[in-house]
Structure formats: C-alpha cells, structure tokens
Chain A
Amino acid sequence: MDWFFIISSGVKIAVITFGIILPLVALSSLAERKVSAFIQDRIGPNRVGIPMTLLGGKKDIAFFGLVQPLADGLKFILKEDFTPKHVRKFYFWLAPALVLVPALLTVGVIPFGSTLKLLGHHVPLVIADLNIGPLFVFAISSLGVYGIVLAGWASNSKYPFLGGVRSSSQMISYEIALGLSVIPVLMIFQELNLGAIVRFQDKNGWLLLPLWGDGLSLQRWLLLVPLAISFVVFTVSIFAETNRMPFDLPECETELVAGYHTEYSSMKFALFFLGEYAAMIVGSGLIVTLFLGGWSIPFGDKIGLGFEAAQNTWWVGLLHLGCFLTKVVAFIFFFMWVRWTLPRFRFDQLMRLGWVFFFEIALFNVFLTALILMLVK
C-alpha cells in the first residue's frame, strides 16, 4: 500500500465520477430529448447556448442546445425545495440519496480501460480491482431499491406508494433472471474479476464476436447460442432493474401520475433522475464489459493495440478508454431507442415475463452451456 496507489485511487475516483459519469448523465438527459425528438420527427431542444444577449451581444450562440443540461441543473437548484406537510420527513430526505449512492458506488469495479502508463507507473483504469466484480455490482445495485421503496412510503400518499411497491416486486423478480443469466458467461471465463474478463476477450475475441485468438474454435462458435440467450435475458433484466421503458411501471405516468417521485420537487427530484441515468450507464458498462469486450479494440491483439501494447505506450491506454466509452454511448443510445419505440408493459405481463419465461430460460441456459463446455473441447 504505497502512496502512489492511494493518490492515484483518489484521482481515479474523482475523475471517473465527476469527469466521466456525471457529464455522461448530463449529456444523456439531453441526448434522450434529442433522440426522442428525432424518432418522433421533431427538432428537440436546440436553443440553449451561450447567452450573448445577456452580455450585451446582438445574438445568442445556439450551439445545438448543448448547454441545455446546465440550464436544467440551474433550474433544479434554484427551484423552491418544497416538502409536503404530510410526508415522513426523515425518510423523505433520505430516499433520493439512497437511489443515487448505490448507482455511483457500482462504478468502482467497472474497468474503463486497460492501463495508463503514467510517470513510470502502470495505472489500471479501474477504481477497485475486486475478484468478485459482477457480484459486487448486483449486490450494491440491489440496495438501490431501498431508495425507491422508501420514497414511495415516505411520501405518504397513494400513487407514490403503489410505485414503491411495484418497484420492489419488480426488482426482486428480475434480480433472479439477472443473476442466472450471467452464470453461463462466468462458466466460460472461469473468472469473476472484470479486468481479467476483459483481458480474456482482448486475447480471444469478444464473447459475441469470437473472430480472433482462441475465439475461432468450434466450442466458442457453438457457445454463441447460449450466449445470445444470455445476452437477451441480461439486457432485458437490466432494463427492468434500471426502471427504464418498457419496464418503467414504478413511475408509469398514465397510471400513477409520476410514481414514487410524485411528491418530490427541485434537487431531490433531480437526484432520482441522476440515479436512474447513472444506473443506466453502469448497466451499459456491465453489458459491454461482459459481452462486448469492454475496452478491447476488435483484433486489437493482432494489430498491436492489445493489452501488452498498453503496458508500453500511453496513447494505447487512452485509445482503450475511448473505445470503452464509445461502446457505452452506443449502448445508451440503444436504451433510448427502445424507450421511444416500445409501448409499456402491463404489470402482470411484466411479472409473468420475469417469473414464467426468463427464470426458466436462464436456468435451461446454464445446463445448455455446461453441456457444450463438457462435450465440445
């Protein structure tokens, strides 16, 4: 435990949280509106830019509306922080924090890149290189449900309460499918360390794109069948866990006004919003890490841009970071695409899908993977 490790960890926490995740959250809130506008054939927010007229200029610089998140944030902070009289105050204040904190904590084990060579030291671009990566993410993100349930209960009114109850039953149901669907993946890697999982994919081809290294074997191509099932179940479960459309029953506005955050306003509401988007980003990061090769560049190992190259040259490390962020952003776009394309499920359909279909499919998938791993060497 040397000083360099402690200082670099602190810097990594600060840079990844405030330099990557929170800006990504802000930009995704803008992107959500832009993407929805594009899908619905509208223009979307395109006015907020640098307010030159305030500074005595002739015309504002619109800047494609890129400054919109800043304006939103200012609005949230400056609005009156209204606490209704009938709420249970302590839990009403605690709930928004309990949504945001777990979402930000799970960022700690996601490898954002391979290694950066800095001042003669190799800095791995992951905050905590734990040997239990995916389990840690599941455990901590399962705590996020407390925030939503408490928000619903503390609001002390009917619609938020229904939202909270829906959320807890939904999260518990989909956690099972989430955990079971990841087992085939772990059986193939024989490893729970997310860093080692990505290094394996860097050498032997991404799980869903086994085109180089050992990925060209018959076994890996046969395994694509259970892996595709795993991928679908896992992705849908992440949608349900992050309360995104088509599974946003806890805040379904046509039935529950705004669900669990009906009574919230200003920055406390914004914290729920930030928590949802942060959970979405971490979920995308986890999917990308497990199935789509994390930071690794396609054929990177063959063309000299693999893990070994990052040990010697600093810009390869940066390239890996960029590669990871590109994949995550692409996946966030997919999240939005789905939200603005599919209609919302009914609650009984959602529970049915989780318990009757995904649970069984994921269980069967474990056996299928074991069979392939045993029979085809």
Chain B
Amino acid sequence: MPSVLFYLFSAIMLGFGILVVALRNPVSSALSLAASFLGLAALFVSLGAFFIGVIQVLVYAGAVMVLFLFIIMLLDIQAEQRRKLNLPAVIGGSLLVLVFALQLATVLGDFPAGHRILNAAPLSPTAALEARRAAGTVHASIDQDLAAGKLPDVKLIGETLFSQYNFHLQIIGVLLLVATVGVIVISRREDKTAAPAEPSSPAPTPP
C-alpha cells in the first residue's frame, strides 16, 4: 500500500477518535466514532485482512453504533454542559494512558514480526502453500486459492477457528447465549410493585 494512504487513514481514525471526546453533542460523538471505525477498517483492508476490515464495518459501524445512535436519539440526550477541569480525573486519565502505552510498547517490542518492515516481508501464498503441505494440512478450496496466488483470508480464519480453537469457540458461544438469555430476562421482568413511572427503554445488546 502506498504510505500516503496509510497516513490518510490513520489521520481519519485518530482525528475522529479525538472528536469523539472533544465534541459535546452525543450524536456527533457517536457519528465520529463510526467514522473512526471506518478509518480502522480501511487500515485492516490495506494490510490484506479484508475479512477483519469488513467485519469491523458490519458489526461496529453498521450495528453497534446504529444501536448507540438509536438509544441516544430515543432518550433525547442533550448536549453536555461544559464543566470546569477536574484535575484528579485528568491526572488519572493521563496515568492510565501512559501505563497502557508502556504495556503496548513492551508487548510489541517482544513480538518478532514487529521488527520487520512490511515491504520487506511480502505476502507469499505459494510459500504458505508449501508450509501447509509440509505440515500435512489439506483443504481443497484453500490450497486452490493459495496455488492461484490469492490470499483466502476468510477461509483461513474459518479453518483456524473451527479446528484449532473449536473448543474455545463453543465456550464463547455458550457465554453469548447466557448473556442473551440474561438480557431477555432483565428486560421482560414484570414490575409487580407498582406501575412504572416512565416507560422503560429496552436494554442495548452489544453483539
């Protein structure tokens, strides 16, 4: 990818990310977050991870943020008042950011691929195919794509998820099911004491 595009999309992502905090109108903030997600998705796509990029748009920008917007509009949350600076909160926030940045730097510093320049490590489907053959994994559709010089990212993710991490996937599925049932139970609990003062809004369910 031309590095110009990398800087462009990074700027979109970070710029809108700052706007999320800086803007006072909740609707503007929510939309900025969606735009920031779009920038992030573009970065994923530029790394060849089409599937992750599209899921980023489909799930976060297309579903979660729409739900957020829906709730903000339904509850009619007004623009936030400008408050004076809260010093302990600012110091706490900066400390948290610093610790997180340090953690990220140490983890990424130990990651071997982090020391290689992307242009010096091009994607090589044929090499990947040979590695797969050596390891003895066979999947007709994936091998065909790799032999044709294409990166079948969706298929590779699916293969890894449903073979290597199948058990973990099942557990996450059960957890999500429990959460869904919980949401239904909470949102449909009948109020036996008195008539509710105001109509209750349905709880948002982040997927």
Q: Do A and B come from one complex?
A: yes
B136 CB to nearest chain A CB (Å): 21
Contact A153 B27 (CB under 8 A): yes
Report which of A135, A168, A175 forms a contact with B51, defined as CB distance below 8 A: A135
**Given A139-B57, A164-B73, A192-B154, CB of A145 within 8 Å of CB of B66:** yes
**A140 proximal to B (CB < 8 A):** yes
**B58 proximal to A (CB < 8 A):** yes
**Given A131-B50, A191-B141, A192-B154, CB of A146 within 8 Å of CB of B70:** no
Q: A132 contacts which chain B residues (CB < 8 A)?
A: 50-51, 54, 154
Q: A140 contacts which chain B residues (CB < 8 A)?
A: 57
**A272 proximal to B (CB < 8 A):** no
Report which of A91, A130, A153, A172 forms a contact with B63, defined as CB distance below 8 A: A172
Contact B74 A165 (CB under 8 A): yes
Q: A139 contacts which chain B residues (CB < 8 A)?
A: 54-55, 57-58, 61-62
Interface bits A9-22 vs B (CB < 8 Å: 1, else 0): 00000000000000
Q: Tell me how many residue pairs across A and B have CB atoms closer than 8 Å.
A: 68
**A169 proximal to B (CB < 8 A):** yes
Report which of A149, A175, A191, A192 forms a contact with B69, defined as CB distance below 8 A: A149
**A161 proximal to B (CB < 8 A):** yes
Given the complex of chains A and B, what is the CA–CA distance between A138 and B63 in angstroms? Answer: 11
**Given A135-B54, A139-B54, A145-B66, CB of A165 within 8 Å of CB of B73:** yes
Report which of A131, A143, A171 forms a contact with B57, defined as CB distance below 8 A: A143
A129 to B, closest residue via Cβ: B150
Interface bits A46-69 vs B (CB < 8 Å: 1, else 0): 000000000000000000000000
**Given A138-B58, A175-B62, A191-B141, CB of A149 within 8 Å of CB of B73:** yes
Given the complex of chains A and B, what is the CA–CA distance between A142 and B56 in angstroms? Answer: 12
Contact B73 A131 (CB under 8 A): no
**A331 proximal to B (CB < 8 A):** no
Given the complex of chains A and B, what is the CA–CA distance between A168 and B69 in angstroms? Answer: 9
Interface size on A, residues (CB 8 A): 27
B113 CB to nearest chain A CB (Å): 23
- Which chain B residues in 119-163 approach chain A with CB under 8 Å? 141, 150-154
**Given A165-B73, A169-B70, CB of A131 within 8 Å of CB of B61:** no
**A190 proximal to B (CB < 8 A):** yes
Given the complex of chains A and B, what is the CA–CA distance between A140 and B62 in angstroms? Answer: 8
Q: B31 contacts which chain A residues (CB < 8 A)?
A: 146, 150
Besides A131-B154, A142-B62, 8 other A-B contacts (C-beta < 8 A): A135-B154, A139-B57, A142-B57, A149-B66, A150-B31, A165-B74, A168-B66, A172-B67
Enumerate chain B interface residues (CB-CB to A < 8 A): 27, 31, 34, 50-51, 54-55, 57-58, 61-63, 66-67, 69-70, 73-74, 141, 150-154
The 6 closest A-B pairs by CB, nearest first: A142-B62, A139-B58, A139-B57, A139-B54, A135-B54, A168-B70
23 A-B residue pairings within 8 Å (CB atoms): A130-B50, A131-B150, A131-B153, A131-B154, A132-B154, A139-B54, A139-B55, A139-B62, A140-B57, A142-B58, A145-B66, A146-B66, A149-B69, A149-B70, A153-B27, A165-B74, A168-B66, A168-B67, A168-B69, A171-B66, A172-B63, A172-B67, A175-B62
Enumerate chain A interface residues (CB-CB to B < 8 A): 91, 130-132, 135-136, 138-140, 142-143, 145-146, 149-150, 153, 161, 164-165, 168-169, 171-172, 175, 190-192
